[in-house]
Amino acid sequence: MCWWWFGRWNFFSHWNWFGAVIMIVWSIVVIVAAAMFFRWFFSSFGANAMEKSNRALEILKERLAKGEITEEEYERLKKTLV
């Protein structure tokens, strides 16, 4: 009975190493995916907010140049945006 028990552990010992390697690789994949997600999540909010703000100021300047708004309106809207 003892021989069968120890023989069984020796038979499956390579699966223990395989499982450990798979666990390490999977952990690395999860960590890299989480890092990429957080980088995308935070960069998209920061970059988009700045781009939208810059684009809004450009539109405001264009409207002032076309004469659609007065200088007072321009200054008031600019303070609102910034």
Confidence at residue 1, expressed as pLDDT on a 0 to 100 scale: 46
Domain membership of residue 64 (yes or no) is: yes
Confidence at residue 14, expressed as pLDDT on a 0 to 100 scale: 60
Domain membership of residue 51 (yes or no) is: yes
Domain membership of residue 54 (yes or no) is: yes
Contact 56, 79 (CB under 8 A): no
pLDDT over 70 (residue 5):
no
Could you give the angle at which helices 71-81 and 2-66 cross, rounded to 10 degrees? 170
Q: What is the pTM of this model?
A: 0.43
Q: What is the pLDDT of residues 7-63, one digit of tens each?
A: 555 555 566 677 778 889 999 999 999 999 988 887 766 556 666 668 888 899 999
Q: How far apart are CA 28 and CA 34, in angstroms?
A: 10
Domain membership of residue 72 (yes or no) is: yes
Domain membership of residue 18 (yes or no) is: no
Q: Report which secondary-structure segment, H or E, holds 60.
A: helix 2-66
Range of the domain at 67: 23-81
Structure tokens at 45: 């909010």
Domain membership of residue 1 (yes or no) is: no
Check residue 65 and report its DSSP letter: H
Confidence at residue 34, expressed as pLDDT on a 0 to 100 scale: 96
Confidence at residue 80, expressed as pLDDT on a 0 to 100 scale: 85
